Structure 1
């Protein structure tokens, strides 16, 4: 571990690299390309800090979007905000200087935070997906599973597990966090016994949650498709049975159908939004994850840099998805931006009457949303 603090040789382009070790592949890129990467990363950092903070404020402020899924989305936003605040500045420095110049302690802490936030993000997405699955496929369990203390335990578990499984690497007994002379940044390297946790982390923190999300969505699509078929058959049976309902009953049935259809569509929009978040996560994280495992000796450095830029972009893409895919989130953002700063101290209180997304949710609306997926 002592070599972590050996960053003082001014004659070496990469001060942490021991004599006889080749300069990092990062140093072989043109200054213009690395400057471009630093600028793009800085832009991502600013957008991510603002977007994730705004999302947290909007979800806390507006009761209509403050549901169970929002609790996990807030956890996801906090992880992305910390990633932007505590990891990306060092990434910008690395692209700008082509080496690591922040000392050995931070060389261990920064990758620990980076991998930890990746784990929290994916587990948060998995928990949101599981929430959607239980809401749609097993709504009778919903009230028993999603109580306040259980939701809190789920969120705490996602953070403790994501960081806890890295503790052996942090203390150097299963790989180690150290300067990677081939890439010119700090990452997971083999320990003194030649062991590394990269592959295991890839399986535990990426493959397993991704498979859980895939299975949940496959089941969600099947249940929704079956429900739509039953709905159409039910409507056809009503239309082909004249004289069984009077006009007033027929009108009440039509109003109820319209209300439940609207609630069902809203829940389905949220489900599709979570799917888009997961797909964006795959697009952003899979390249660098594959590069770390399949090209551990950095034979293709361009692939690594492109992967890092995609990884950094994941920290700011989720608020963009919320804005594009959900009208209630757009209204919540508008309410959060328009409210006076003096009101921000009471974010959990009432919201502006002019913002539909910030109106309290009536109990009948919540019941209708749950029941819409289990109609005969």
Structure 2
């Protein structure tokens, strides 16, 4: 790779859904208002809604610890992963608003690592939930689901996600931009270094295929087989039409929202990746439209962390009842104090 690829690689890292830096100087000048006003507002919204939603799910699951089922185990850990992610968003929001990095090298690596860790943990928990639903609905007579097995799988997911999230600890660093007089937290893949080139490919393959394509295939297959099973005569003899419709709607919502939130960002990242490898020519000067589109897809992907509490928790009747119970208790306590 040549120096041009190095610049594109930096741009790719800065524009990826797991980093919150400006792109090159031309982009920074053209999109100053967008970066310093619009993005911080969007990130703040995601942060507040995500903290409240996922925090409430964690609290409800704590109250349900005696009656927690296997699905609840996955929902709890998914909420924890999303909560960790949105808890780090004030760091990225500040970086975008100030157009510089002020938190030092350690926080740069920690925040980047947590963001990547969440990317994998979130999709892995969603995948585990879809497979568990498949076992519960389709294979209920042949495969025994236990809380112990679910707990073991959760531990494995946390360990694998942590391992995959270690890459930023080496390749994400605070870089001094002398022309702009600022420091930024960004990827530091060096084009002249063959090892860095290989690690850059590992980064993309793990992020896109391990962290999206393969889990998506598993999710779609699992829910498709569930939907097919629910339409068979055998299933109709065991389930009411209302249950079938509710399960089918849930399948449609889960798969559609996940793909809508993440697919555009994955495609945008793929464009940057093949440009970085000189497989297609990158625009010169850089394409501002692609930058805006990419940042929109970034926000869309991150909004999924806010959607999870709604999709996987509050659509369940028991969760709604528990939330109503909490609100009623708080209202009663308020009336008693008066």
Partner of 1:353: none
- Find the structure with the greater CA-based Rg: 1
| 1:54-110 CA-partner distances (Å, limit 9, x unpaired) | 112223324797321111011110011111112x11221132112323222222222
Q: Give yes or no for contact 1:177–1:186 (8 Å, CA) kept in 2.
A: yes
- For structure 1, the residue ranges without an aligned partner over 5 or more in a row are 1-13, 15-20, 232-259, 344-376
Partner of 1:225: 231
For residues 222-301 of structure 1, the aligned pairs below 5 Å read 222-227=228-233, 231=237, 261=239, 265-266=242-243, 269=246, 272-273=249-250, 276-296=253-273, 299=287, 300-301=290-291
Pairwise CA distance, 1:38: 0.7
| 1:117-148 CA-partner distances (Å, limit 9, x unpaired) | 011110101111011100111102443xx323
Partner of 1:209: 215
2:288 pairs with 1:329: no
Residues 140 and 91 (structure 1 numbering): CA distance in 2 closer, same or farther, change over 3 Å? Answer: same
Counterpart selection for 1:38 from 23, 37, 40: 40
CA distance in 2, matches of 1:276, 1:91: 30
For residues 182-193 of structure 1, the aligned pairs below 5 Å read 186=185, 188-191=187-190, 192-193=193-194
CA distance in 2, matches of 1:82, 1:332: 23
Count of aligned pairs: 286
2:172 pairs with 1:177: yes
Partner of 2:180: none
Pairwise CA distance, 1:332: 1.9
Residues 108 and 204 (structure 1 numbering): CA distance in 2 closer, same or farther, change over 3 Å? Answer: same
SS at match of 2:172: strand
Residues 323 and 165 (structure 1 numbering): CA distance in 2 closer, same or farther, change over 3 Å? Answer: closer
Q: Give yes or no for contact 1:273–1:322 (8 Å, CA) kept in 2.
A: no
Residues 287 and 65 (structure 1 numbering): CA distance in 2 closer, same or farther, change over 3 Å? Answer: farther
Q: CA RMSD in A?
A: 3.3
Partner of 1:307: 297
Partner of 2:81: 79
Partner of 1:364: none
Residues 64 and 326 (structure 1 numbering): CA distance in 2 closer, same or farther, change over 3 Å? Answer: farther
Partner of 2:58: 56
SS at match of 2:141: helix
Q: Give yes or no for contact 1:269–1:326 (8 Å, CA) kept in 2.
A: no
Q: Give yes or no for contact 1:125–1:274 (8 Å, CA) kept in 2.
A: no
CA distance in 1, matches of 2:204, 2:230: 36
2:201 pairs with 1:199: no
SS at match of 2:102: coil
CA distance in 2, matches of 1:270, 1:25: 46
For residues 327-366 of structure 1, the aligned pairs below 5 Å read 327-340=317-330
For residues 123-202 of structure 1, the aligned pairs below 5 Å read 123-143=124-144, 146-167=145-166, 169-170=167-168, 172=170, 176-178=171-173, 186=185, 188-191=187-190, 192-193=193-194, 194-195=197-198, 196=200, 197-201=202-206, 202=208
Q: Give yes or no for contact 1:72–1:127 (8 Å, CA) kept in 2.
A: yes
Pairwise CA distance, 1:214: 1.2
Pairwise CA distance, 1:210: 0.9
Pairwise CA distance, 1:164: 0.7
- For structure 2, the residue ranges without an aligned partner over 5 or more in a row are 1-13, 15-22, 178-182, 277-285, 334-338
Partner of 1:318: 308
CA distance in 2, matches of 1:106, 1:154: 30
Pairwise CA distance, 1:337: 3.3
Partner of 2:18: none
